[in-house]
Amino acid sequence: MESAVTHPFRAAVEADDHDAVHALLADDVVFTSPVAFQPYEGRPITAAIVRGVSRVFEDFRYVREIAGADGRDHVLVFEARVGDRRINGCDLLHTDDDGLIDDLVVMVRPLSAANALAEAMGAQFDRIAREAREESERTAGA
């Protein structure tokens, strides 16, 4: 079912509002990347990855939003560019009882664009890991 209301995650990503993205993630969110074998667990690393993706994607735009009947599942279909590669993909979101995203799966195509994304994100990963570590240290000390 196509959604008439924009999901808050979509609005936050489109506004490049990383604080809002962070606030929408559950502490125990699981992020499944299209280019990594193991999922990432937790708000700090997931928020850092979303920030990293925003630095890598060019001409990013959501083109469609689909909501499940129970309102807890959403599919956000997007288009972007990584270097000279056009990429199509979707963000699969699931929200918990509090309305926070507890599961985020990203899928992309074609393979050549997924490979370009993997390479570009690999170049970002030291920064992503540092940002996640710094956030974890801040929240542990709070």
Is 102 within the bounds of a domain?
A: yes
Q: What is the mean pLDDT of the chain?
A: 93
Compute, in degrees rounded to 10, the torsion defined by CA atoms 14, 20, 21, 25: -150
Q: Tell me the pLDDT band of 141, cut-offs 50, 70 and 90.
A: confident
| Domain span at 89 | 8-131
Domain count, the chain: 1
Task: Tell me if 49 is assigned to some domain.
Answer: yes
CA 32 to CA 128: how far, in whole Å? 15
Q: Domain for residue 140, yes or no?
A: no
What average pLDDT does range 46-63 have in this prediction? 96
The angle formed by the CA atoms of residues 114, 49 and 122, to the nearest 5 degrees, is 50
> Model pTM?
0.92
In a domain, 136, yes or no: no
Q: List the CATH number of the domain containing 40.
A: 3.10.450.50
The reply to whether 142 falls in a domain is no
What does the alpha-carbon distance between residue 12 and residue 59 come to, in Å, rounded to a whole number?
16
- In a domain? residue 2: no
Over residues 117-133, the mean pLDDT reads: 94
Decide if 25 contacts 47 (C-beta within 8 A): yes
